[in-house]
Structure 1
Amino acid sequence: MILRFEKDLPMLLFALVGASTLASLPQVESAWTGVKEVYGEQDFGLRILRELMLLVLVAYAFFEPRLRNGALSSRVLAFLGAVATYVLFEVGYALYLDLPFVVPMAGLRVFEYLPLALIGFVTSRLGAGDYILNRFAHYLRYYIAVQAVLAIAQALWAPPLFGVSFLGGGRPFGTFVSPNLFGATMATCALLFSLVPAMGKWVAVSVFLALLSGSRTAFISALLVVYFQVYARLRPRDRWALVMPAPVLAVGALVLASSPLLSGRNDADPTEDGRIALWQRVFSEQVHGPADVLFGWGLGLSSNTINILYGAEHFPGQFDSDSLYLFLLNGYGLIGLLAYLLFLWMTTRTSIHRNKGVVVMFIFVAGLTFNMWEYFPQNAMLMYLWGMVLGTGLQREASPLPIFRPSRF
């Protein structure tokens, strides 16, 4: 059997993302009937499909010699070794706090789709990043078409379980457990389509679905994609006219996203829906000294997995983080949080990818009020894009790997 990742990888990525249409099917069926399942009653049966597809991708990367050799380079292994060392320290600290082993394991979910970042990194180093992304985006159109049909039907006729859409029905959730997850995925699809030429109409469809979801984070993330699209189309000498009002536009987008008319919720104001108050309470009650600030106060205590398995506030210090940065601060401390932000900054400094700005900014913004690395398939797509952008920065270095040329296929 001949493995050629240039043809195989786009289909495997599409199959992985497509698994989300079945993974939450029991919860989707309940939502259609107007029943909102609580954490402890959610069925995990079909969710194993996404883990199985991830294993297939990892196995494929291992058996494909060019992907395997690229992922096992000294630079990659050194980076992974440094990350693993600190992560093992945090796991040991969580066990020292007498937390069950499953709790720190849940805190490792931010690394679950890291193999996709490695695959994206290697494909860029081989010069195949844009080609694979183009093929993946063309397959992804079918996924968006299915989600669009379901979302419009739900926005017209579904029970208003999560709030009311501006089309009169419930806020759409597609094939996800909530409109927020649906909107986040649609915004990420908009980002992915924006990186591929001649995909403007699919960017527009994805942005519309993100808007329809009523998710604040999805709305702002989608607008960010639109902003960069407009910015890229302006002449360099005219771009200042878009940069100057950027802070005002950002504030306006936040106000608009928080409007009940757009979000479909009466508690749309982020200062009144309990999130800010929750974060203030967490800091006042759980941070007791410099060690808690530097190293965190319990890896995994802010994971949604623990909320589902044990219920809310089962352990001292347990909470629903919502924000990726609060998740990192809780589990990995200020050291881990700064390391994450530093790596984002280094991506912009080392990458030569023409769209590095929008990808890195999207990842940064999406994590402000949403723990995106815990939610599938947004985490899968963003991990791959991050690795692809970072890998472009090292593409010109001398490498024993054969460089991909589309004319061969």
Structure 2
Amino acid sequence: MVLRLEKDLPLLLFGLVCTSTVASLPQVQSAWAGIKEVYGEQEMGLRLLREAMLALLVCYAWAEPRLRNGIFSGPIPAFLSLIAAYVLCEIGYAVYLDLPLIVPMTGLRIFEYLPLALIGFVCGRRGVADWVIGRFAHCLRYYLLLQAGLALAQALWAPPLFGVSMLGGGRPFGTFVSPNLFGAAMATCALVFAVVPGMRRWLGLSVLLALLSGSRTAFLSGLLVVFFRVYAALRPRDRWALWMPAPMLAVGALILASSPLLSGRDDADPTEDGRIALWQRVFANHVHDAADLLFGWGLGLSSNTVNLLFGAEHFPGQFDSDSLYLFLLNGYGLIGLLAYLGLLWATTRTSAHPGKGLVAAFIFVAGLTFNLWEYFPQNAVLMFLWGAMLGHSRHPVALAQPNGQPQPARFYG
């Protein structure tokens, strides 16, 4: 079998994303019937499809010589060794606290799709990332059409299980277990379309679906994509006029996103829905000394999986984090949190890709009130995009396009 990275990889990525249409099928059917079922108590076989697709991608990366050689050369092995050493220390500390091994293992979920980031990094270094992203985006249109059709029907006729949509029905959830996950996926689709030329209509549709979901994080992420696209379209001498009102626009967007009109919920105010109060209790009750702050107080105690398996507040220090940054602070401490933010910053400083700022800003914003690395398929797509941005160099290794012509490095936007 002849492996053709430029043609195979976009299809594999698209296949991985498409498994989200069946991974939560039982819960979607229940939601259509007006029954809200507990996440994680459904058919595991369907959700295992995504792990099977991920395994297929890992096998493909091992079989494809350019990917295999790229992953096991350069700085990647040293980087992975450094992460592994620190994570092992955190696992050891969690075991020392007499936590069951499954608890710290759930804290590793943020690394589940790290292989996609490595594949994206190698593609960026080899100069084929833009080609792969472009082909993937064209495939993603069919996925978006399916989600749009379901979302429109749900917004009109579905039971208001998660709140009332702007169209009078329930908040749409597509093929996901909740509108928040649906909105996160649609905002991520908008990001993909934003870095591919000629996809403005699909970008607009993705942003509208993110807005229709009623998810505050998805709404803000979608507006962020639109802001960067408008910024890129302006002449350099005119861009200052967009940055000046940016703080006021951000505050206005936050107020609008928190209104019941868009969110469809009565508890839309983030100061009244318990999230901020929860974060205050976390710091008051669990951060007792410098060691807790620097290294965390128990890897995995803020994972949704632990709450499902053992119940809420079963272990001392356990809580529902929501925010990625609280998740990192709990499991990996201030050291891990700063390392994560430092890697985002390094992406904007070392990458030569003009889309690096948009991708880094999107990942940063999406993690403020949502643990994006725990939820599929947003985590898979963003991991690949992040790796591709980080690996994009000024002098990529020239490869051949499928038509035999040299593949130039270029920005899709």
The separation in 2 between residues aligned to 1:323 and 1:39, in whole angstroms, is 18
The CA RMSD measured in Å over matched residues stands at 1.1
Matched residue of 1:74: which SS? Answer: coil
Give how far 1:207 is off: 0.2
Indicate yes or no: 2:404 matched with 1:408.
Answer: yes
Instruction: Tell me the alpha carbon deviations over residues 30-54 of structure 1, each in whole angstroms, 9 at most, x when there is no partner.
Output: 1111111124634423100100000
Instruction: Tell me the alpha carbon deviations over residues 188-240 of structure 1, each in whole angstroms, 9 at most, x when there is no partner.
Output: 00000000000000000000000000000000000000001111111111111
Give how far 1:314 is off: 1.7
What does residue 76 of structure 2 align with? 76
Question: Is the Cα contact below 8 Å between 1:116 and 1:387 reproduced in 2?
Answer: yes
TM-score, normalised via structure 2 length: 0.96
Residues 305 and 404 (structure 1), Cα distance of their counterparts in 2 relative to 1, 3 Å cut: farther
Give how far 1:311 is off: 2.0
Which aligned pairs between 1:23-38 and structure 2 lie closer than 5 A?
23-38=23-38
Which aligned pairs between 1:4-83 and structure 2 lie closer than 5 A?
4-39=4-39, 41-83=41-83
What does residue 331 of structure 1 align with? 331
Question: Is the Cα contact below 8 Å between 1:298 and 1:317 reproduced in 2?
Answer: yes
Corresponding residue pairs, total: 405
The separation in 2 between residues aligned to 1:29 and 1:311, in whole angstroms, is 25
Give how far 1:309 is off: 1.7
What does residue 312 of structure 2 align with? 312
Letter in 1 for 2:177: V
The separation in 2 between residues aligned to 1:292 and 1:126, in whole angstroms, is 41
Instruction: Tell me the alpha carbon deviations over residues 45-75 of structure 1, each in whole angstroms, 9 at most, x when there is no partner.
Output: 3100100000000000000000000000131
TM-score, normalised via structure 1 length: 0.97
Which aligned pairs between 1:179-194 and structure 2 lie closer than 5 A?
179-194=179-194
Give how far 1:402 is off: 6.0
Question: Is the Cα contact below 8 Å between 2:137 and 2:196 reproduced in 1?
Answer: yes
Most deviating of 73-82 and 9-18: 73-82
Indicate yes or no: 2:268 matched with 1:262.
Answer: no
Give how far 1:406 is off: 5.3
User: Unpaired segments of 5 or more residues in structure 2?
Assistant: 406-413
What does residue 134 of structure 1 align with? 134
The separation in 1 between residues aligned to 2:270 and 2:45, in whole angstroms, is 34
Matched residue of 1:207: which SS? Answer: helix
Letter in 2 for 1:12: L
What does residue 99 of structure 1 align with? 99
Which aligned pairs between 1:103-182 and structure 2 lie closer than 5 A?
103-182=103-182
User: Unpaired segments of 5 or more residues in structure 1?
Assistant: none
What does residue 296 of structure 1 align with? 296
Letter in 1 for 2:127: G
The separation in 2 between residues aligned to 1:178 and 1:231, in whole angstroms, is 32
Instruction: Tell me the alpha carbon deviations over residues 70-123 of structure 1, each in whole angstroms, 9 at most, x when there is no partner.
Output: 000131001011111000000111110111111111000000000000000111
Question: Is the Cα contact below 8 Å between 1:293 and 1:334 reproduced in 2?
Answer: yes
The separation in 1 between residues aligned to 2:218 and 2:17, in whole angstroms, is 18
Question: Is the Cα contact below 8 Å between 1:91 and 1:299 reproduced in 2?
Answer: yes
What does residue 395 of structure 2 align with? 396
Give how far 1:396 is off: 2.0
The separation in 2 between residues aligned to 1:298 and 1:42, in whole angstroms, is 28
What does residue 363 of structure 1 align with? 363
Matched residue of 1:354: which SS? Answer: coil
What does residue 411 of structure 2 align with? none
The separation in 1 between residues aligned to 2:313 and 2:154, in whole angstroms, is 33
Question: Is the Cα contact below 8 Å between 1:24 and 1:47 reproduced in 2?
Answer: yes
Letter in 2 for 1:396: H
Residues 281 and 43 (structure 1), Cα distance of their counterparts in 2 relative to 1, 3 Å cut: farther
What does residue 282 of structure 1 align with? 282
Question: Is the Cα contact below 8 Å between 1:172 and 1:212 reproduced in 2?
Answer: yes
The separation in 1 between residues aligned to 2:44 and 2:156, in whole angstroms, is 28
Question: Is the Cα contact below 8 Å between 1:40 and 1:311 reproduced in 2?
Answer: no
Instruction: Tell me the alpha carbon deviations over residues 111-147 of structure 1, each in whole angstroms, 9 at most, x when there is no partner.
Output: 0000000000111111111111110000000000000
Give how far 1:316 is off: 1.4
Question: Is the Cα contact below 8 Å between 2:301 and 2:331 reproduced in 1?
Answer: yes
Letter in 2 for 1:259: S
Letter in 2 for 1:216: R
Letter in 2 for 1:384: F
Question: Is the Cα contact below 8 Å between 1:258 and 1:269 reproduced in 2?
Answer: yes
Moved segments of 4+, more than 4 Å:
none
Indicate yes or no: 2:232 matched with 1:228.
Answer: no
Question: Is the Cα contact below 8 Å between 2:120 and 2:384 reproduced in 1?
Answer: yes
Percent of aligned pairs with the same amino acid: 73
The separation in 1 between residues aligned to 2:400 and 2:117, in whole angstroms, is 19
What does residue 215 of structure 2 align with? 215
The separation in 1 between residues aligned to 2:10 and 2:39, in whole angstroms, is 33
Question: Is the Cα contact below 8 Å between 1:27 and 1:42 reproduced in 2?
Answer: yes
Give how far 1:282 is off: 1.1
Question: Is the Cα contact below 8 Å between 2:3 and 2:64 reproduced in 1?
Answer: yes
The separation in 1 between residues aligned to 2:258 and 2:228, in whole angstroms, is 22
Matched residue of 1:321: which SS? Answer: coil
The separation in 1 between residues aligned to 2:339 and 2:96, in whole angstroms, is 23
What does residue 410 of structure 2 align with? none
The separation in 2 between residues aligned to 1:387 and 1:360, in whole angstroms, is 11
Give how far 1:407 is off: 4.3
What does residue 350 of structure 1 align with? 350
